[in-house]
């Protein structure tokens, strides 16, 4: 049976410790890249890929995320009275992007827990997962590319990007068998392998198309590093019973905006792409280099 995936899970319950003290009182997902918070780029990617229902798994201190995607009619009307029509329309579009559902995370830390917390909303259907503090700039969107692979093969899919060989120890790396074009069958997942023993330089993370049989695996998986529940461990268990594919993202630039350098890089790149800011930023960068 072919499913049209409409539901996306975005975990946003993390503490954002890599950005302290900036994230002491604000969610890391709300830190701006130029003039939009990181989480909005993630949501816009999802909507552009056909997603209609977005389930955000939240925790303490994440109220700002909910407020950002909620309508603020008072502010919109004030902007209209001031003649700021384009700004008013832009704010209205944010709340209209999708159906937003918020679930408070319960259970141990780890990126597997928020996925399990979405079970009652997902039900017995396949779904997508994106992290709320990173994204890939790609056309077509990364998520759409992965959804297309799932539509063809019907098994779970993880997005993949090629990383420099001397950086493979920073990522989960896949040993793969080529299927067709940018599609690979994942034979093994190795978390942060040694540079010399890495099975490839294809990092698989960030975007997941999962089937509902992942939930029993998440319930049964034993705590891993730091006593936390990790999604990759549940996927490894699932791989014993069914195929899992990697979709190497075409024409994509990965922004790890949960890291300081990745965040700075994203701001520079998106500022340079901006029609208004681009010339000024380019001129400034030339003046200091």
State pLDDT tens for residues 71-110.
888 999 999 999 999 889 988 999 899 999 999 998 778 8
State pLDDT tens for residues 33-70.
999 999 999 999 999 999 999 999 998 888 999 999 99
State pLDDT tens for residues 100-148.
999 999 877 888 999 999 999 999 999 999 998 888 999 999 999 999 9
Q: pTM for this one?
A: 0.91
Q: What is the pLDDT of residue 1?
A: 47
Q: For residue 14, what is the DSSP state?
A: -
Q: Rounded to an integer, what distance in angstroms lies between the CA atom of residue 143 and that of residue 28?
A: 22
Q: What is the pLDDT of residue 3?
A: 66
Reference 57, options 120, 27, 101, 110; nearest CA is 101
Residue 284 has pLDDT above 90, yes or no: yes
State pLDDT tens for residues 199-254.
999 999 889 999 999 999 999 998 877 778 899 999 999 999 999 999 999 988 99
Residue 2 has pLDDT above 60, yes or no: no
15 with 226: CB under 8 angstroms? no
Reference 4, options 182, 131, 140, 125; nearest CA is 125
**9-23, 81-95, 180-194: segment of lowest average pLDDT:** 9-23
Residue 177 has pLDDT above 90, yes or no: yes
Strand, helix or coil at 55?
strand
* Number of helices (H), then strands (E), in the chain: 11, 13
For residue 176, give the H/E element and its range: strand 172-180
Q: Region 187-204: what's the mean pLDDT? A: 90
For helices 38-48 and 142-153, the axis angle rounded to 10 degrees is: 40
Residue 190 has pLDDT above 60, yes or no: yes
Structure tokens at 11: 């975990």
Chain centroid to Cα 3, Å, comes to 21
């Amino acid at each position: 049976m072919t499913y049209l995936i409409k539901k996306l899970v975005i975990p946003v319950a993390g503490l954002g410790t890599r950005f302290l003290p900036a994230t002491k009182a604000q969610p890391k997902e709300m830190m701006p890249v130029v003039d939009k918070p990181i989480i909005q780029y993630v949501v816009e990617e999802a909507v552009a890929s056909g997603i209609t229902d977005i389930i955000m798994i939240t925790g303490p201190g994440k109220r700002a995320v909910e407020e950002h995607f909620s309508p603020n009619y008072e502010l919109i009307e004030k902007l209209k009275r001031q003649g700021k029509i384009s700004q008013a329309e832009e704010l209205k579009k944010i709340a209209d992007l999708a159906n937003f559902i918020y679930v408070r995370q319960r259970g141990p830390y780890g990126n597997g827990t928020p996925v399990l917390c979405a079970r009652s909303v997902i039900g017995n259907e396949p779904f997508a997962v994106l992290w709320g503090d990173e994204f890939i700039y790609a056309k077509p969107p990364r998520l759409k590319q992965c959804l297309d692979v799932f539509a063809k093969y019907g098994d779970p899919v993880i997005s993949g990007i090629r990383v420099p060989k001397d950086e493979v120890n920073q990522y989960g790396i896949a040993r793969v068998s080529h299927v067709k074009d940018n599609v690979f069958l994942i034979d093994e997942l190795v978390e942060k392998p040694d540079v010399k023993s890495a099975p490839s330089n294809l990092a698989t993370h960030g975007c997941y198309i999962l089937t509902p049989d992942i939930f029993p695996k998440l319930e049964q998986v034993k705590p891993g590093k730091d006593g936390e529940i990790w999604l990759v461990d549940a996927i490894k268990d699932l791989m014993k019973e069914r195929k899992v594919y990697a979709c190497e993202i075409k024409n994509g630039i990965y922004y790890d905006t949960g890291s300081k350098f990745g965040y700075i890089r994203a701001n520079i790149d998106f500022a340079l792409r901006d029609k208004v800011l681009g010339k000024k930023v380019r001129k400034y960068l030339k003046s200091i280099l």
